[in-house]
């Protein structure tokens, strides 16, 4: 056991370099900075509810529309003195992204029960970057809904002056319920989806980074030892080959956990800036509904997720150990890690875009055969209390890990280890 800890200390020293620490610190700073900047810009864009209105009808109805926008928390800016070209080029409105043109004939067409066209313009930035354009689109959709609602009420009041307009506008009340298993709760489907996505989209990103970093580190370490001939010295010494394998796996796992911890801290700031407070607000106001639906991860649930992630990392490390042996030098690591990266990408991306339960048999077989998939979908299964799926996934991951460790042990037990490599050319 003493030999194992000596080897473990050696491997950690070799992997935990100054360059790695500097990279981690830089990553934390960049994520924090981007998250802070994006968060501030998101709030600023959301707070800007400006609309530049060009009213050429000048009627009671057009004034009602403008008043309705103001009542809907829009900051209306009147630019009806000129035309649209003047408004777009006006220095006063150069920062505005939402313009509305109410053409002549609105009230006349309304009385004749003819539809009238109101033009709306969304001005995009030349770079087409950022979230300003997205906010403009959302504000325009909301404003159009507001206008149609106000004009609908106005039409009902004119046509049926003695009628109950509120009843005619909403003759039925709609209540949304969400059912998960045997549980149900009165809550907006949109809020539940936002909450679930916030819990399940961020997690795979962190696991993806963790697995990739762990695999890359152990492959680089082994390829470096082969390139520097230090592996020959280790293999010629009376050290148990199993202790050598486990020390490399353990060191890579420890460093990967440290890196992923820092990554998750930075990513949390980054994601909170992008997502704003929308999801958080939904979760706060519907907390009781989420509890009723069982969409709360308990301590036991987090433990199961942690075990699944642990075996996910171990599987990646065992595969990377073999790929590292096949690498001729450090430069070839980037090529040799490709098969592992393809498996990770498939298991990471497909569950984000398809429902595995509704997928074809071939797709299901492919995803479940890749051990990393079980860690990526563990939070979703825990949220819907599908604990058996997580447990079977852990068992399968443990079996896959054992198989690849056995293969690695077989490779390390022979002397062909030092010359073992893939040859893509034709043998002469």
Residues 6+ apart with CB under 8 A from 102: 53, 54, 55, 56, 57, 62, 65, 118
Mean of pLDDT over the chain = 76
The last residue of one of the domains, among 118, 153, 174, is 174
pLDDT for 260 equals: 63
Q: Which domain holds residue 315?
A: 187-419
Answer yes or no: do 75 and 165 share one domain: yes
**How do residues 110-130 score in pLDDT, each as one tens digit?**
888 888 888 888 877 654 444
Position 400 scores a pLDDT of: 94
Q: Which residues contact 192 (CB under 8 A, 6 or more apart)?
A: 178, 286, 289, 290, 293, 295
Q: For the ranges 23-37, 100-114, 183-197, 403-417, which has the lowest average pLDDT?
A: 23-37
- Three state DSSP letters for the chain: CHHHHHHHHHHHHHHCCHHHHHHHHHHHHHHHHHHHHHHHHHHHHHHCCEEEEEECCCCHHHHHHHHHHHHCCCEEEECCCCCHHHHHHCHHHCCCCEEEEECCCHHHHHHCCCCCCEEEEECCCCCCCCCHHHHHHHHHHHHHHHHHHHHHHHHHHHHCCCCCHHHHHCCCCCCCEEEECCEEEECCHHHHHHHHHHHHCHHHHHHHHHHHHHHHHHHHHHHHHHHCCHHHHHHHCCCCHHHHHHHHHHHHHHHHHHHHHHHHHHHHHHHHHHHCCHHHHHHHHCHHHHHHHCCCCCHHHHHHHHHHHHHHHHHHHHHHHHHHHHCCCHHHHHHHCHHHHHHHHHHHHHHHHCCHHHCCHHHHHHHHHCHHHHHHCHHHHHHCCCHHHHHHHHHHHHHHHHHHHHHHHHHHHCHHHHHCCCCCCCCC
- Whether residue 177 is predicted with pLDDT greater than 60 in this model: the reply is yes
Q: Which two tokens stand for residue 308?
A: 């699944």
Together in a domain, 203 and 282: yes
237 domain residue, yes or no: yes
As beta bridge partners, residue 359 has none
- Judge contact between 252 and 15, C-beta under 8 A: yes
Query: Which of the listed residues 174, 197, 212 is the one where a domain comes to its end?
Result: 174
Q: Are 79 and 163 found together in one domain?
A: yes
- The answer to whether residues 160 and 224 belong to one domain is no
Residue 396 in this model has a pLDDT that exceeds 50: yes
The label of the residue with tokens 């890690």 reads 337
Answer yes or no: do 238 and 328 share one domain. yes
Q: Judge if 282 and 378 occupy the same domain.
A: yes
Question: The CATH number of the domain where 58 resides is what?
Answer: 3.40.1710.10
Residues 139 and 206 in one domain: no
In sequence order, the 6+-apart residues with CB closer than 8 A to the CB of 167 are: none
pLDDT category of residue 46 using cuts at 50, 70 and 90: low
**pTM exceeds cut of 0.85:** no
Query: Binning pLDDT at 50, 70 and 90, where does residue 256 land?
Result: low
Question: How many domains would you assign to the chain?
Answer: 2
Do 252 and 393 fall into the same domain?
yes
Q: Of 123, 151, 174, at which residue does a domain stop?
A: 174
pLDDT tens column, 353-394: 788 878 888 999 999 999 999 988 888 888 778 899 999 999
Question: Residues 200, 133: one domain?
Answer: no
In this structure, the answer to whether residues 251 and 110 fall within a common structural domain is no
Three-point CA angle 238, 241, 244, nearest 5°: 100
pLDDT of the residue at 278: 42
């Amino acid at each position: 056991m003493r030999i194992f800890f000596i080897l473990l200390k050696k491997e950690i020293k070799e992997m935990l370099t100054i360059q790695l620490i500097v990279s981690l610190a830089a990553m934390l700073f960049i994520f924090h900075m981007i998250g802070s900047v994006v968060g501030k810009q998101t709030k600023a864009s959301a707070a800007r509810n400006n609309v530049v209105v060009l009213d050429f009808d000048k009627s009671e109805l057009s004034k009602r529309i403008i008043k309705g926008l103001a009542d809907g928390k829009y900051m209306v800016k009147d630019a009806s003195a000129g035309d649209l070209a003047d408004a777009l080029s006006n220095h006063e409105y150069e920062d505005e992204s939402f313009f509305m043109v109410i053409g002549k004939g609105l009230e006349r067409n309304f009385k004749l029960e003819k539809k009238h066209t109101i033009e709306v313009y969304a001005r995009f930035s030349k770079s087409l970057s950022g979230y300003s354009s997205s906010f403009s689109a959302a504000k325009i959709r909301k404003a159009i809904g507001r206008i149609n609602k106000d004009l609908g009420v106005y039409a009902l009041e004119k046509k049926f002056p003695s009628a109950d307009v509120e009843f005619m506008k909403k003759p039925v009340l709609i209540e949304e319920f969400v059912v998960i298993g045997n549980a149900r709760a009165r809550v907006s489907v949109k809020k539940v989806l936002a909450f679930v996505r916030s819990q399940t989209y961020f997690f795979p990103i962190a696991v993806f980074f963790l697995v990739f970093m762990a695999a890359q580190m152990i492959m680089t370490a082994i390829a470096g030892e082969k390139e520097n001939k230090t592996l020959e010295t280790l293999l010629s010494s009376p050290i148990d080959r199993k202790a050598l394998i486990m020390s490399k796996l353990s060191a890579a796992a420890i460093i990967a956990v440290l890196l992923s911890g820092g990554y998750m801290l930075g990513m949390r700031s980054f994601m909170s800036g992008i997502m704003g407070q929308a999801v958080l607000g939904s979760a706060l106001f519907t907390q009781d509904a989420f509890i009723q639906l069982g969409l709360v991860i308990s301590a036991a649930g987090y433990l199961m997720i942690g075990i699944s992630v642990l075996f996910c990392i171990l599987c990646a490390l065992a595969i990377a150990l073999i790929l590292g042996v096949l690498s001729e030098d450090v430069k070839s690591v980037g090529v040799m890690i490709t098969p592992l990266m393809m498996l990770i990408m498939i298991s990471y991306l497909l569950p984000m875009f398809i429902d595995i339960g509704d997928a074809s048999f071939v797709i299901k077989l492919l995803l479940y055969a890749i051990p990393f998939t079980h860690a990526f979908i563990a939070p979703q299964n825990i949220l819907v209390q599908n604990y058996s799926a997580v447990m079977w996934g852990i068992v399968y991951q443990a079996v896959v890990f054992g198989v690849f460790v056995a293969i690695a042990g077989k490779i390390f037990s022979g002397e062909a280890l030092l010359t073992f490599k893939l040859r893509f050319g034709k043998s002469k």
